[in-house]
Structure formats: structure tokens, C-alpha cells
Amino acid sequence: MSIILAIIVIGVLILVHEFGHFLLAKKNGIGVTEFSVGMGPRIVSFVRGETRYSLKWIPFGGSCMMMGEDEDLPDEKSFNNKSVWARISVIFAGPFFNFLLAFVLALIVLGNGGVNPAYVYGVEEGGAAAQAGLKTGDVITKINNRNITIGRDIELYLVEHPLDGSMVTVEFERDGEKQSITFDPNRKAVLMGFRYYATEDPVVLPEVTKGQPFEEAGIRAGDTITAIDGTPISSGLQLQEYMQEHELKEEPVTITYERNGKSYDTAVTPKFTTYQDLGFSASYGRVKSGPIEVIKNSFYEVGYWIRYSFTSLKMLVTGRVSSEEISGPVGIVSMVDDMVEQSKPDGLFYVFLNLANFAILLSANLGVLNLLPLPALDGGRLLFLLIEAVRGKPIDREKEGYVHMVGMVLLMILMVLVLFNDIVKLF
């Protein structure tokens, strides 16, 4: 079932992406020779007008093949005979439709599940933020001049700009009044070096601090904490309660965690550390809101996932994230399976909402990836078209074709490596 659901989700994303190209091609009078979902041999195919519509065996990928896309043809419907801005609109339409789909899905998810305001739900007693005047219920609007529109923006900001000991300025609203505080985030305590979300969900670690006890013990981001010293931990709230009741000392603690379905026990010795911390927690939960707030926050939601995608790519390129953490089709099936199992007790509607929420991330990510200025991707084609717009004449078609062909080969090699990585992670 999870495989079928994953194929449906990926298929819809690809269909919408290719439909963007298709629609703008038709609007600009460009002939479309074949519109297909999937790759490889055809399963079902029919011709209507000048276009062949196909469903193919391999459910990952798709195409909108246009007349004269990679060659010069005398036909007025040829892609390359249209104005450069018409061609730019056709190429850009694919990623844009992915962003549009993400927005529509966000309307559904937020309309039913609620928005994610940056409410402060916990302020550490005696901490710098509390002493500066921050209180539970305040709504964070900025951190160091970076706009905060939803609760998860705070986490993303900290990933992009790790605290370095400098003073932190937080702007917030309380009872409709805007306020601002500045405080020192430096603290000293006995720590194990990990972050988690204090929610009702399982404790899947979003981050493990480099050089701290958790990393030294072999625990990684993405692992799920299930017990501490034999005490079962089933949620972030339960872990928060445990940590509040058990003061850490520089003595070994047995951590039980899961990775790829297997359970492990390891001894972790907390250590006295100087570290930086905001001293407050913002909400990851959702709050029911009216239509206007849902529409506004749907834009925020898509914007968040676009920034998240760019940040993830930056971290991958700079080595802050291992290539082992990249997931392809098999990894997506595994994530869908976990999502379905966790949502089943709440009913089919919540399974749908969680899948839709996951599809927001995938759709925004697909849009971002396709806009990268790399050969064979939409971004690569846009780069050539923008150069043509500036020069007033196109780059040699044959040379451009060679560049895209090499890019396609490299893209296929990358897909094989990602698939191999997915399979390795299963064992």
C-alpha cells in the first residue's frame, strides 16, 4: 500500500510539473509531440490532435516533448521559433506549477489542521530570555532582523545561522503590542548534545551537536530515541518530562535508539559544556484559524519549504549534511510507510492530511531543484535562454544540445547513486 501511495504522490508531482510546461507551450502556440508521465516503455498511449499522451512503466520522471526543442525547424510551431520570453515562460512554468501545487496543498492542510504561529510555549525559568522579559504566549516576529512567520522558521534560522555567542535580539508581539529584547545566549551546563521537539510525536532527532557525547557515541540526526536508562520514551513531551525530573550528571547514561528499524543501546556520558541557547521554545503545533489567516499562512508555508530546500542544498554542498542523508524513490516509500503507520490510528483523513503535508515539501523541493542552473534541468535551460535574451542571439544549438546531453548522463548517474544509497540504508 505504501508503495502505491508513494507512486501516486510522486506521479501527481511530476504530472503537475509537466502540465505546467504543456499548458504554457499550448498557450504560446508550440507543438507538443508527446506528454508523458513516467519513463521507459509505454503502458498506455493515445493520440489526440498533434500530441501523444503516454503513461510509462517507470513511475519516476516524465516529459513534455515539444516540436523543435533541441533543433531548428522551419515550422511556426517549433519551440525555437518562438520569442525568447515565450520560451522562458514555458520552461519556468514547470517549477512554478510545483510551487502552485504546494500552495494548494498548504490550503488544504492548514485549513483542516491549522496554522503554525510562532507562539512561545516554554521559557526556561531563570534563563536569559526570561530575565529579559520574554513570556509564554508571546508571538516571535523577528530574530536578529530575520522575519519569523511560522514557528518552524526559528529552527530553520538556527540551522542557517548557528548561535556563535553574540548577543541575540528577539522581536515579538504581546497583546497586540510590539516589543524587543536583547540577551546573551551563552550558558554552561551538563549536556549530551542533541535537539528534539517537545511534541506528541516520536523523538526523531533533528540535530546532533558535533563533538558532543551523542555524536561521539555514534548517534546521528534522524535516529529515534526510545528509552533512557530503561525508561521508555515514546514522545518528545515524555522526553521533556524525563529530562526535567532527572538532572544530568557526568555519569554514563544508557540510550536506546532506533535506526532503519533496528534498535541499539549505547552508553553516553554527559559532559560540562559551554553552549549557546535561546532559552525558549516556539510552537510546532497548529492552531485553527479563519480563511484569511489560512491563505496568508499558506504562502508562508510554501516559502518556508522553499527556504528549507535551498538551505539543505547549501548544507550538502558545504559538507554540513552527509550525502548518506539524501533520499530517493526508495527512501520516499520508506517515509510514506512510516507516515501511514503513525497516522492510521487517527483515521484515513489524517493519513491523507499527513501525505498532503509531505507532498508540500516534495513539491517545493522539486520546484527548487529544477530551477538550479544545471544542464538538463529547467534551470539550465533558463540560463541559456537568459543569456540569449542578453546577447540578442542564441548560443549554438548543437553546442547547447551537447551540454544538456552530458547533464542528462550525469543526472542519470546521480539517480543511480541515490537509489543505491536508498537500498543500502534499508539494510
Cβ contacts of 24 within 8 Å, gap of 6 or more: 89, 90, 93
For residue 411, the surrounding DSSP H or E stretch is helix 397-425
Rounding to the nearest 10 degrees, give the CA dihedral for residues 336, 342, 344, 347. -100
- Tell which residue, 31, 9, 1, has the closest CA to residue 332: 9
CA distances (Å), origin 355, targets 350, 352, 383: 8, 5, 34
Cell triple for residue 421? 544509497
The alpha-helical segments, DSSP class H, found in 171-218 are 213-216
Give the Cα separation of 275 and 189 in Å (integer): 8
Active site residues: 18
Instruction: For CA atoms 195, 150, 359, 240, give the dihedral sign.
Output: positive
Across 94-229, the runs of DSSP E, i.e. the strands, are: 120-123, 139-143, 146-147, 168-174, 177-183, 186-191, 194-195, 203-204, 207-208, 224-228
User: Is 98 in a helix, a strand, or coil?
Assistant: helix
CA distances (Å), origin 45, targets 19, 79, 242: 17, 23, 59
Rounding to the nearest 10 degrees, give the CA dihedral for residues 399, 401, 407, 413. -120
Phi-psi region of 78 (alpha: psi -120 to 50; beta: other; left: phi over 0): beta
User: Is 264 in a helix, a strand, or coil?
Assistant: strand
